[in-house]
Structure 1
Amino acid sequence: MIDILIPTYCRPAALAVTLTSLCAQTYRDFRVVVSDQTEDGSAFESGEVQAALRVLQSHGHVVETLKHLPRKGLAEHRQFLLNQAIAPYALFLDDDLILEPWVVECLLTTIQTEQCGFVGSAVIGLSFSEDVRPHQQILEFWEGPVEPEIVRSGTPQWERYKLHNAANLYHVQQQLKITPDHPRTYRVAWIGGCVMYDTTKLRSVGGFEFWRELPPNHCGEDVLAQLRVMAAFGGCGVLPSGVYHQELPTTIRDRSMDAPQLLPVV
């Protein structure tokens, strides 16, 4: 039912942690595809990564490890992974996350219920657990079915991204006592790190093929893809989030070429 697609670059230890959290998922019907763009060496040579991959295989998961060079930008790498997808749903997962055991099942149940283009579990930085920011915790629940919505930079809807800063989601879901047994969908600008797409719907809006229109040093490719899917089919976040950021230094230092600022949403 699900292809879990993981792009990785120069983060073997973090990747091993991410893969290990997949070993404990309550939902088991998924394949894992990892694409490495490390130029000097390979993430798959790491003993930690090899161990996690073996555990996944012992659980019956098909695991594919691919090397994809030369580097042509983040969007091109995501498109390469999307080209490998054969399942109805594609979960794009960053290589520096930790997932609670119920996350994949919750995302699948939500996207099947809502029949929308994507559902995401935004990442939480637990180093900010004591940094409470009420002014950034504005939450707009979907009270009915998720519907298409156009969100652009500079609009009030764009400001929803602040809910995903630091540990805001962690504080909100604790205050509201939202549990995996009774998840809630909410409106988003975009979601980083852990997003499940309806594969056909993502492809129907072009996927990440817009990489050809961007300079190689771009960022925001996941944002632009989500905005386009949301405009056509709708998209949402789901609470509670059970995804935690490992809070490593970014591998993307130049963020001046922001895809949603350079290319149209619709």
Structure 2
Amino acid sequence: MNRPLDADEPEEFRVDRPVDVLIPTRNRPAELAVTLSGLAAQEGVPGFGVAVSDQSDGDPGYAHPAAATMVRALRHRGHPVLLTRRLPRRGLAEHRAYLLAASAARLVLCLDDDVWLEPGTLRRLVTAIDELGCGFVGNAVHGLSYLDDVRPDTHRHYREWTGRPVPERIRPGSPEWDRAQIHSAANLLHVTEALALPAGSWRAYRVSWIGGCVLYDRTKLVDSGGFEFWRGLPERHQGEDVAAQLAVLARHGGAGVLPSGAYHLESPTTVTDRDVEAWEAVLADADADA
């Protein structure tokens, strides 16, 4: 019989450590268990923390025996795990803002609850952001069911940074905005295979935004506004990650990292009410102020 989990205390979790992983979740106990299992297998980044905030309609996903076991495995391996509930729901951006406020780490990985990370992924992302000195780096998620669906027309959007990323102001309709096409399906896997990188090497490339797995310099994210724009949004929105990344790109720059060790579980979305694109509203306000 699975015993109840200790949820941990927010005051004890919020300490100055190198990295925290922030996971918002809702109605996905199986996916959450897989996501946590990927984190439990990470090495080379000792003592990173994990904060899980649940907004499920019933019992929290982390109460499921499989997810609870992964929480215990993380703690057993020396990783503090904060388990919280954030109800009532006020939208995706507010949920991310809540998680960000729960962390005092130098770096924060915003990880969706349906992404499995292969071993070595977190270490590579931390190495990349430390070397590049930008606001964020990320791993676009692979959809392995598309592995045989090769789309060479998207590969032209892959362009590497030859030095440190610089700030970029990116807007819809620009050539830079189309960079996101390389992250659909399994496109990035096909680009990676074509490059045939030596073992252990990585490349930084230009992005407009990355979904699912993004490591931020927390100070630079907060300096760019974080997710506080939630206050001006209706509850039913999506694209909050895009809005935050565009703001960080404009101030501090950002990059995708290849190879990506992030794999999408391809489960049905739990965000079914999408009345507003957060990035559209935030960009409209920012451009009006400018």
Shorter-chain TM range is over 0.9
- Which residue of structure 2 lines up, in the alignment, with residue 70 of structure 1? 88
Gaps of 5+ in 1: none
Percent identity, aligned pairs only, is 50
Q: What corresponds to 2:270 in structure 1?
A: 251
Aligned residue for 1:17? Answer: 34
Partner of 1:102: 120
Match of 1:5 among 14, 17, 22: 22
Structure 2 residue matching 1:71: 3-state secondary structure: coil
Q: In structure 1, what is the equivalent of residue 206 of structure 2?
A: 187
Q: Which amino acid aligns with 1:23?
A: A
How many Å separate the matches in 1 of 2:98 and 2:37? 24
Question: Do the aligned residues in 2 keep the contact of 1:106 with 1:180 (CA within 8 Å)?
Answer: no
Q: CA RMSD in A?
A: 1.1
Count, aligned residues: 266
After TM superposition, the score normalised by the length of structure 1 is: 0.98
Give runs of aligned pairs for residues 1-266 of structure 1, distance below 5 A.
Answer: 1-27=18-44, 28-138=46-156, 139-178=158-197, 181-264=200-283
Question: Distance in 1 between the 2:109 and 2:199 partners?
Answer: 18
Tell whether the 8 Å contact from 1:23 to 1:56 is kept in structure 2 after alignment: yes
Superposition deviation, residue 254 in structure 1: 3.3
In structure 2, what is the Cα distance between the partners aligned to 1:96 and 1:194?
10
Instruction: Tell me which moved more, 200-209 or 253-262.
Output: 253-262
Q: Tell which structure's C-alpha radius of gyration is larger.
A: 2
Secondary structure, aligned partner of 1:4: strand
Does the 8 Å contact 1:180/1:240 carry over to 2?
no
Q: What is the one-letter code of the residue matched to 1:111?
A: I
Structure 1 residue 178, shift from structure 2 partner: 2.6
Gap runs ≥5 in structure 2: 1-17
In the aligned structure 1, how far is the partner of 2:282 from the partner of 2:113?
A: 26
In 1: Cα distance, 2:282 partner to 2:75 partner:
40
SS of residue in 2 equivalent to 1:196 = strand
| Structure 1 segments of 4+ aligned residues over 6 angstroms from their partners | none
d(CA) in 1 for partners of 2:198, 2:21: 24
